[in-house]
Amino acid sequence: MTKFLLVLHVLVAIIAVGPVSVAASMFPPSARRALADPADPRAAETVRLLHRICRVYAAIGIAVPVLGFATGLSMGVLNSGWLIASMALTGIAAAVLLALVLPRQEEILEAVEARAGTETGTGTGTGTKSASGAAGAAGAEGGVTSRAATTATSASASDEIAANPRLTVQLAMFTGIFNLLWATVTILMIVRPGSTTGA
């Protein structure tokens, strides 16, 4: 049972954490390209896909500490310093991902989609008044005005993010911290300092 749990723990760690690390690292430069060229639909789709990968595999990654705890319990090493440190670092890494990385990805993705929508939606909805009466024309005009105001607000926010690369720089920094924490956990799990099998 111990070997089975250990195999599951390692496999889930590779399958879940690996894609998150790669996708999260690719997100900032991809977002910068999408913000710089809102007319390119492939750039926006790439950003959307990378964020989806991060969200989905982050959810799967919950199984990593659960299986790790079960494996440590089966091995009788829950009181070992290297395992306690690994669990603490895993918790910090999860907090960085959930509180700092994913929310900023969502904010940037909204800006990318707003700029892409502004770029492709300019001039739509202007021909609805010709076939309507005075009341219909007024209603259509009000709807167009409301949509235009919403679009202008979204475009203004996205333009601000595009003009200031600080958000993507911060995201890259938090992603680097997340990757460094997981690299440290991996080293601790392999070396296991202080244990009878440690290097």
Which residue ranges make up each domain of the chain? 2-117+134-191
**24: closest CA among 97, 84, 90?**
97
Q: Is a pLDDT exceeding 70 seen at residue 9?
A: yes
The pLDDT-based confidence of 76 (bands split at 50, 70, 90) is confident
**171: closest CA among 123, 86, 99?**
99
Average pLDDT of span 26-39: 93
Q: How far is CA 135 from CA 3, 138, 148, 149, 192, in A?
A: 74, 5, 20, 21, 76
Q: Is a pLDDT exceeding 70 seen at residue 192?
A: yes
Give the pLDDT score at 130: 42
Give the pLDDT score at 101: 97
For residues 83 and 197, the answer to whether their CB atoms sit within 8 Å is: no
Burial of 108 (0-12, 13-18, 19+ CB in 10 A): buried
The pLDDT-based confidence of 166 (bands split at 50, 70, 90) is confident
Give the pLDDT score at 158: 63
Give the pLDDT score at 138: 47
Q: Is a pLDDT exceeding 80 seen at residue 106?
A: yes
Q: Is a pLDDT exceeding 70 seen at residue 171?
A: yes
